[in-house]
Amino acid sequence: MCDMLQERHRQHKSSYNYTPLVARLVETCYQARITRLKELATLLGISTSYTHYLIKKLKRDAFFKIWASPHYDNIGLRVMRVFLQVKSNTYAQILLESLSRHDFILYIARGYSNLGKGVYCEFLVPNDKERLLLSFLESLANGGLISAYDVCQVIAFGNIVMGFEWYDFSTNTWLFNWQALLENVLSKADLDKHLLITGLASSQTSRTPRFDFYDLCILHYLEQDVFSPLTSLALKLGTSPQNLSYHFRNHVLKNDLIKVTRPKWYPFLIEESSYYILNAEFENDKALNSFLESLNRKPIAYSWSYCKREAGHSVMIAGVLPYDELFNFIDFLDLLREHGILKRYDYYLLDIHRSYGKLLPYHCYDEAFGWRCDFEPYLKDILRMAKKVQEGRASSATRFVAKLASAADNKIESV
């Protein structure tokens, strides 16, 4: 297996010609919760104007942007990740089309996994309303639209620094070295050191969030681009920039309503890449932390999520890789399992071209009633589209049988 990793060691063309300074800019955006351009400039030790120039160039040439992810727990929401397993591509397309219109969908994509094919979803669910989602999923299963589903609740998440340790600046290529990564994970697992992630299952505490409509509008706005000026938003909302600045400083920042900021970018040529989600259970916290630490500054993953599910807890890793490196990644995971680091894992490969991402549904919040979330209209829409497909199939089958009968009659007459 180790030899296989070495044999498939390849170079991959970068989507952009990075310099050491630009690489440091990208990595810094993962490491620090940056909400202002001046903060980034200070960390880089360069002027704000030059930082603005670099960001603008990255946006133009590398589809790069920095966005803020809300601290959902602090605004009364939870992230639920669901994989809907289907037998029919038609049903998968129906689910994709209907659920992509749901206000509380964060992300949805056609997916393929070691469990089967289906649709991967990330839902936002108001606190104590998980039963609405579970009831919706049961209805889909009872209606024969899905054959199975896997659901988990995200109870903590953070960034992995998707960086440039494997980047060759002289040739502008990525050089993957899975064997070195394996050795790095194994060596870290033997060290007795402070754990980055431990006891998350029992350490989660609830708090009473303090937020209002303006705070939610700001979060929605910063999800698009964390450096967007609030003056533009103030104009859209019909309020003053001073009012939004007050809410940003005294509510959004003070009440910790932003969880992380993170770049959105494609290190590789997008037509040769695939998003993936890894759902893994590790032997212990030390094994988990050795894995996450070793991923830092590699072009493999950009986030981790600690998840609660019926069978226990697991960690989900999200990233993007060139197609042929996905095979090396799976071989690497198998080796971690053989070495007692990884207990079990599932993976989901997501179709970038059949995916939809959405922002915080601030318009669904009512200060008197809270979050208004309803799955019933979408269930009816999905069942209606499925029935239409079934009727079409039945009509086609009837016409086909009639043609066969007519052909048989003609043959009998000719005899």
d(CA 37, CA 30): 14
Q: Which of 46-50, 346-350, 397-401 has the lowest mean pLDDT?
A: 397-401
- Cα–Cα distances (Å) from 317 to 50, 82, 348, 412, in that order, read 33, 14, 10, 65
- Could you tell me how many helices (H) and strands (E) the chain has, helices first? 14, 15
Q: How many Cβ atoms are within 10 Å of 299's Cβ, its own excluded?
A: 24
**Which pLDDT score, from 0 to 100, does residue 49 have?**
96
**Which pLDDT score, from 0 to 100, does residue 394 have?**
53
Could you tell me which residues come within 8 angstroms of residue 40 by beta carbon, excluding any fewer than 6 positions away?
A: 25, 28, 29, 32, 34, 51
Taking residues 335-362, what's their average pLDDT?
92
Do the Cβ atoms of 359 and 223 come closer than 8 Å? yes
Token output for 270: 């997008």
Angle between helix axes 48-62 and 37-44 (nearest 10 degrees) is: 100
% the chain with pLDDT above 90: 67
SS3 assignment, position 90? helix
Topology given in CATH for the domain delimited by 72-163+267-358: Alpha-Beta Plaits (3.30.70)
pLDDT, tens only, 317-328: 999 999 889 999
399: Cα within 13 Å, side-chain hemisphere = 6
The number of residues making up the chain comes to: 415
Helices (H), 174-307: 178-189, 200-203, 213-224, 230-237, 241-247, 285-295
d(CA 4, CA 326): 13
Would residue 150 be called left, alpha or beta, if left means φ above 0 and alpha means ψ between -120 and 50 degrees?
beta
Do the Cβ atoms of 263 and 30 come closer than 8 Å? yes
Do the Cβ atoms of 154 and 78 come closer than 8 Å? yes
What is the bridge-based pairing of β-strands 167-168 and 148-159? unpaired
The average confidence (pLDDT) of the chain is 86
pLDDT, tens only, 250-271: 999 999 999 999 998 888 888 8
Q: Which helix or strand (DSSP H or E) is residue 65 part of?
A: strand 65-70
pLDDT, tens only, 183-241: 999 998 776 554 455 445 444 545 556 799 999 999 999 999 999 899 999 999 999 99
Could you tell me which residues come within 8 angstroms of residue 51 by beta carbon, excluding any fewer than 6 positions away?
A: 25, 37, 40, 41, 44
**Which pLDDT score, from 0 to 100, does residue 125 have?**
96
Helices (H), 316-364: 323-338
**Domain layout of the chain by residue ranges:** 72-163+267-358
Residue with tokens 């992630």: 197
Angle between helix axes 130-142 and 376-414 (nearest 10 degrees) is: 10
Q: pLDDT band for position 10 (50/70/90)?
A: low
Do the Cβ atoms of 225 and 215 come closer than 8 Å? no
Do the Cβ atoms of 376 and 139 come closer than 8 Å? no
